[in-house]
Chains A and B, each alone.
Chain A
Amino acid sequence: MSAADIKRKEKLIQRIFLVVAFSSLFSLFLIALFIFVEGLPMIWKVGLKDFLLSTRWSPTKGHFGIFAMIVSSFWVTIGALLFGGPLGLMCSIFLVEFSSARMRAVIKPALELLAGIPSVVYGFLGVVYLVPLVRDYLGGPGLSLLTSCIILGIMILPTVISISVDSLVAVPDSYREAAFSLGATRWQTTHMVTLHAAKSGIITALVLGMGRAVGETMAVIMIAGNALKIPLSPLDPIRTLTSNIALEMGYASGLHRQALFATGIVLFFFVMALNMIATLFARRKVLK
């Protein structure tokens, strides 16, 4: 084979890889395309305002308002963050700043295992163990915003932990040593220096955790109660955007199905916005 041949071949291979490299982008594009093509005509027909801002959802009777679900998804995401965020951060700080390398080698993979447990198992155990507790001690039907927040809070732990651990580890040791030499204790060093330096990474972790919470479906169907009202207390049952899709997808036809795809569009925007925010913060870290 001549050198020119080899060069041509290399060029071809590079092209093939370029095409392959765009597979994920292409998939993303296809997903967005199909969700939009299926859902947009319905939004067009009903009107964006009636779709987004009405609380009345009864598709078989021609009402397609998803406001209650937007509010519910919002609260459940915030709630999951309230439970999972601090807990995840505590775990990460413990792992990076207060434990020996050997402890870390055991505990970190164990916590990563939480990500492997199927979401249906979380949902099921939530129904069996957590729902009766909430119902008996706090009141309400047990299937509620609060229950969902707790379960989702646990489910986002691995995301929060793995990213914030990475960002804490990335803080140069010289920072810590400098603080120690000034007489700071470990905790003072952590909250005054290390956490500060790792801030953007931690925010990325929290935002991506929110992304997971807002997108979770099967567990939420099992524990949220799926009622169509705006929740007025943490003990009220809620329906999120995701569970709305999964609950009714099998039954839907015509405009109803389009409305579920339109719900998907809203969810898509939610998640993409969170992703953008996360990437933005991640980029800031790189710039530093």
Chain B
Amino acid sequence: MTPRRAEHVAIGLMVSGAFLALAILFFIIAVIMIKGLPHITARFLLDNPMDMGRAGGIFSTIVSTVYLLVVSLVIAIPLGVGTAIYLTEYTEEGKITKIVRFGTECLAGVPSIILGLFGFILFVIKLGFGWSVLSGGISLAIMILPVIIRTSEEAIKSVPQAFRDVNEVLGGSKWQGVTRLVLPNAAPGILTGVILSVGRGIGETAVVIFTLGTSLRTPFSIFDSGRSMAVHFYILAREGISMDNAYATAAVLVFSILIINIFSYYLMHKFVEARR
């Protein structure tokens, strides 16, 4: 094969690979949207499920999902951003940072089913929280912690060193520098990470099913059980309860994930732009 031919073949291969991957993505989104969107009405979004989800809407599952995400973010953001601040501002690269980074990487690699098992045994059973928003929230927080740490670290690192130097020259303490200069400037980047982890949490099932439970009631207290949208979709589709409602739930899920991703991408873009 001449180099020119090889070049053509290679380019053809690469292009078709990328095309195939994109085609799969479009196929998934198209199927879910085409089959799901027609069943989404205001009532579907605002009514509670009835008859095991065969009739009615998905309101209680939306509430459960949002509640769960809020609880997990309340736990994961301080820990994640705190870790990132420590790694970038309060220590030199060395043994400790290496250990922390390794731990974070490993935590990111822990399969969600293991997290589910862990949350089930510790929070649901040992601590007696039962299947609840709290059990689910903490377990999910552990899952998204690595994402938040990583993105926050990137965001904080990208804040120009000059800001810190100026702070020091003006006699500000490190803490003042962090709270008044570094964090506000890194905020959009950190937010991107938070939004991305919301995207991960929203579609999670293995962790949630064992810790939040599957109750269709709208949770009020933090000790109430609930059913997230993803789990609701799983049950509807798996048990063949209602394919229409299953697709509609999936469409709401995929649509929110689309919005979340586009929004975070937009934020990231602005953030990078501002840094230039």
Contacts and interface: CB of A to CB of B under 8 A. Distances in A.
Interface of A: 6, 9-10, 13-14, 16-18, 20-25, 27-28, 30-31, 34-35, 38, 86-91, 93-95, 97-99, 107, 109-122, 124-125, 129, 154, 157, 161, 184-188, 190-191, 208, 211, 214-218, 222, 242, 245-246, 249, 260-261, 264, 267-268, 271-272, 274-275, 278-279
A122 B115 CA distance: 21
B102 interface: yes
A242 B18 contact: no
Interface stretch (B23-31, B56-64, B160-168, B181-189): B23-31
A98 B3 contact: no
Contact of A116 (B14, B22, B175, B261): B261
B220 interface: no
B14 A20 contact: no
The 9 A-B residue pairs with the shortest CB-CB distance in the complex, in nearest-first order: A90-B17, A215-B111, A118-B203, A25-B103, A20-B82, A17-B86, A94-B14, A21-B86, A187-B10
Nearest to B126: A34
Contacts of B4: 185
B113 A275 contact: no
Given A28-B110, A99-B18, 5 more contacts: A22-B100, A90-B14, A185-B7, A187-B10, A267-B111
A120 B236 CA distance: 11
A120 B17 contact: no
B67 interface: no
- Interface size range on B against A: 35 or more
B223 interface: no
B90 A17 contact: yes
6 contacts: A25-B107, A118-B202, A120-B233, A121-B253, A125-B32, A242-B113
A17 B85 contact: yes
Contacts of B257: 113, 116-118
A24 B203 CA distance: 22
B199 interface: yes
B17 A91 contact: yes
Contacts of A117: 28, 203, 254, 257
Contacts of B110: 28, 31, 215, 268, 271
B24 A154 contact: yes
B13 interface: yes
Interface in B44-77: none
Contacts of A208: 109
Contact of B114 (A23, A31, A87): A31
